[in-house]
């Protein structure tokens, strides 16, 4: 993109993992985390909550007319139970023991706001942990890595040692599904440009696609 047509990207998140994924794509962006409580409504399904919270975050970020805001929310679900960030080390150990030797779901809601429109979507990935002893869980928690992570683990860090297999988008488990993000940007009329020398986006060929909320 060039000139005034080039949008300025804003990441509405304080997550270094999401920032690293965007940087890995060669995208330049500002970081502007919103102040939105990550609380679930009673009986709210994980996929619904992830989309709602991502949308609320995107709408809460102040932006100029030429800025595009990217926001996301990740929820780990074990059966009917949604697992957020652990409140302390003991809660983190309990979460990991609950996940040990079992399959769970990771949902990430993504919202991309441009002008008056917010395009949204949800990605789902299945993750299976290997069997774990309590001592292993405690050792991992003692590193401090899982204490600010949904489900009490970081698959891109030491938490990779917990995982037996995944089925789906790895970047979704990290916290920002790249395929979904690029789809939502395309619906705003922006296409990822592999050869882009500046921000890595340019106007998409043809009109923006449908989807999202106005």
In the block, residue with structure tokens 């929820």: 75
Residue among 64, 73, 169, 205 flagged as catalytic: 73
Compute the distance between CA of residue 80 and CA of residue 17 in angstroms, rounded to an integer.
Answer: 26
Q: Which residues contact 46 (CB under 8 A, 6 or more apart)?
A: 75, 77, 82, 105, 107
Strand bridging mode 117-129 / 163-167: antiparallel
DSSP-assigned states of every residue in 28-84: -EEE--------PPTT--HHHHHHHHHHHHHHHS---TTEEEEEEEEEEEETTEEE-
User: Percentages helix, strand, coil for the chain, rounded to the nearest 5?
Assistant: 35, 30, 40
Spatial separation of the C-alpha atoms in residues 120 and 183, rounded to whole Å: 10
Task: Return the structure tokens found at 46.
Answer: 């994980």
73 is catalytic: yes
Q: What is the CA radius of gyration of the chain?
A: 18
**Active-site residue list:** 73
């Amino acid at each position: 993109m060039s000139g005034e047509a080039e949008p300025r990207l804003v990441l509405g998140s304080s997550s270094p993992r999401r920032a690293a994924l965007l940087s890995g794509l060669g995208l330049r962006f500002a970081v502007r985390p919103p102040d939105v409580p990550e609380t679930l409504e009673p009986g709210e399904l994980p996929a619904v909550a992830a989309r709602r919270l991502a949308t609320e975050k995107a709408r809460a970020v102040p932006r100029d007319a030429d800025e595009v805001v990217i926001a996301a929310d990740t929820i780990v679900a074990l059966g009917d139970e949604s697992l957020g960030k652990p409140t302390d080390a003991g809660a983190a150990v309990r979460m990991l023991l609950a996940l040990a030797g079992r399959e769970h779901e990771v949902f990430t809601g993504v919202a991309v706001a441009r002008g008056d429109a917010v395009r949204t979507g949800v990605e789902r990935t299945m993750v299976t942990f290997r069997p774990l002893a309590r001592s292993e869980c405690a050792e991992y928690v003692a590193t401090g890595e899982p204490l600010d992570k949904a489900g009490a683990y970081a698959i891109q860090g030491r938490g990779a040692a917990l995982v037996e297999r995944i089925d789906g988008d790895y970047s979704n488990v990290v916290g920002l599904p790249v395929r979904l993000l690029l789809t939502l940007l395309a619906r705003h009329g922006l296409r990822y440009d592999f050869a882009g020398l500046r921000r890595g986006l340019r106007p998409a060929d043809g009109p923006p696609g449908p989807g999202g909320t106005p």
